[in-house]
Structure 1
């Protein structure tokens, strides 16, 4: 793991964006996966600016989803797809043909998982993966005690994940399950960028970097990945030695 500690959220976001820009310049046709949620929004904003400034183009990239709330689709406010549409795909003019996302409203979620696995396999593997981390250490919806040998799968959401979910929705949603890429996908990605900000993430980042590697704290598994960049602000890094 290569750890970068920034002074604040903006600087952390800029650092992550520059790592992404470097990757896309190296391989313009990259298969890319960006987490939704609140932490990546600053990074996405930096990338949108870079596109508008002519510093980078994502035209040749293919994009896949990390996860989605079961029961929510692209038009649902607070869904992962809607978040990325609003904050990245639409501002950057990404073509729909270059986006392959989980449909959380599908009547056949297992078919959604297989379609995603097949799509990734057809493109080799994920070239670039931008991840946030939950306060319980989850990556995507890979909750504590996940089977690390899984590829795409449907999972029950941990209680803390359901509690935190309310911040994404203006109207209350009864989310109970998620559909997500598996740890196996994450570990096979060429480059992983893990971002975290704020004192609320200090304890889990301490565990991420110093706790024994265990599926009990899924983020610790990334220490076995050969090419991970960790970008933190000072608050999230407060307990990191």
Structure 2
């Protein structure tokens, strides 16, 4: 794992975005998976600026979903797809044909999982993966005790994830399950970027980098990946220096 410590959130976001820009310039038709949530928003802002400034084109990229709240659709505020639309896809004018996301409102979630697995399998692997980390160490909705050998699946959400979810939904949606790429997909990605900011993430980042690998803390599995770049601000890195 290559660790990069930035002075603040903005600097962290810029550095993560620069690596993404470099990777996409190397392979313009990359299969890309970006986490939604609050932590990546600064990185998305930098990417939008780069697209508008002509530094990079995302037109050839294919974008896939990391996860989605079961019961929420693309138009629901706070859903992963709605967040990505608002902060990246729409500002960058990404074509719908290049976006392949889980439908959290589907009547057949197993079919959603199979379709995603088949799509990734047809491409070989994910080229570029941007992850955040949950307070409980989850990656996507791979909650504590996730199967490290699993592909896409539907899961019950951990109690901590349910508590944190309130910040995404203005109308206090009751989310109980998630649909997510499995750890196996994440570990097969060519390049992984993990970002974390703020003192609230200091303890989990210490565990991510220093704790033995265990399914009780899913993020620790990234220690086994051959190409992970970790970007943190000083607050998140406070316990790993």
TM-score range, shorter chain: over 0.9
**2:182 paired with 1:160:** no
Q: Deviations over 1:143-190 (max 9, x none)?
A: 000011100000000000000000001101010000000000000000
SS at match of 1:148: coil
Structure 2, unpaired ranges of 5+: none
Q: Deviations over 1:14-58 (max 9, x none)?
A: 000000000000000000000000000000000000000000000
- How far apart in 2 are the matches of 1:6 and 1:236? 10
Task: Give 1:171's aligned residue.
Answer: 171
Task: Give 1:197's aligned residue.
Answer: 197
Deviation at 1:124, TM superposition (A): 1.0
1:29-44 matches, cutoff 5 A: 29-44=29-44
Task: Give 2:59's aligned residue.
Answer: 59
Q: Deviations over 1:98-139 (max 9, x none)?
A: 000000000000000000000001111000000000010000
Task: Give 2:103's aligned residue.
Answer: 103
- How far apart in 1 are the matches of 2:42 and 2:172? 25
- How far apart in 1 are the matches of 2:144 and 2:195? 19
Task: Give 1:134's aligned residue.
Answer: 134
**2:155 paired with 1:149:** no
Q: Deviations over 1:164-220 (max 9, x none)?
A: 000001101010000000000000000000000000000000000000101110000
Q: Which runs of 4+ in 1 moved over 2 A?
A: none
Question: TM-score of the superposition, structure 1-length normalised?
Answer: 1.00
- How far apart in 1 are the matches of 2:38 and 2:172? 18
SS at match of 1:229: strand
SS at match of 2:91: helix
- How far apart in 2 are the matches of 1:148 and 1:224? 11
